[in-house]
Amino acid sequence: MIPLLILGAGGTARDILDWLPALAAAGREYRCMGLLDDDPAKRDAVIADCAVMGRVDEAVRWPDCRFIDALGSPGSFRHRAEIVARSGLTDDRFETIVHPLAWISSSAVLGPGSLIYPFTFIGPDVRAGAHVTVLSHSSVNHDCQIGDYSILAAHTALAGDVSLGDHCYLGMGATVIGGTHIGRGAMIGMGSVIRHDVPAHETVAGNPTRPLRPHQP
């Protein structure tokens, strides 16, 4: 069994812990040692029999463990790289987790630390960077490029040849037309339909989409 620690003690961590039996049945067996989270309110919390054992910057105390990046939310997604950097871990210490019920093309490439939820489709020649999270029932079609630390919420759909910069967040049910570019740090509201490029660091929503507020990176 592979000893494992999870960064983050929120909903994504709960999901991953729930996957462990399915991952074991598929031939990848983990033993979760605990969770690390910087939120003082979560200190000593227990999720699915796994306790919060310390802060993210204490990860180096477990040199023999593998790690999962379960960080990121609509409020913190632009800062995931900074939080991971505080762990002192290099990308080779992170597991790339693909749920057995996901479909990944043999020509797709997933970066280290990525999480691919069940019932997702990752098509031919997709390139996903490090620490990318794709939630359930999402579809990423051929030739898409997804930047590091980007998050696709459930039921998002990227048509072919879409590119996302680093640190993007696509809300639940967002749809992006083929050939579109979404700039670094952009946030797409749930249910949005993206027909044109989105500038970096902008927050947009609606059908058709419109800017909601500027963001200062």
Q: Which residues contact 44 (CB under 8 A, 6 or more apart)?
A: 51, 52
The residue type at 169: Y
E strand or H helix that includes residue 206: strand 203-206
The DSSP line for 76-96 is TGGGHHHHHHHTT--GGGBPP
> How many Å apart are CA 172 and CA 107, to the nearest integer?
26
Look at residue 15 and give its three-state secondary structure.
helix
Beta bridge partners of 213: 203
How far from chain centre, in Å, is Cα 30? 19
86 backbone dihedrals φ, ψ, rounded to 5°? -65, -20
Q: Which two tokens stand for residue 16?
A: 């991953």
Contact call for residues 175 and 156 (beta carbons, < 8 A): yes
What are the catalytic residues?
142
> How many Å apart are CA 182 and CA 161, to the nearest integer?
12
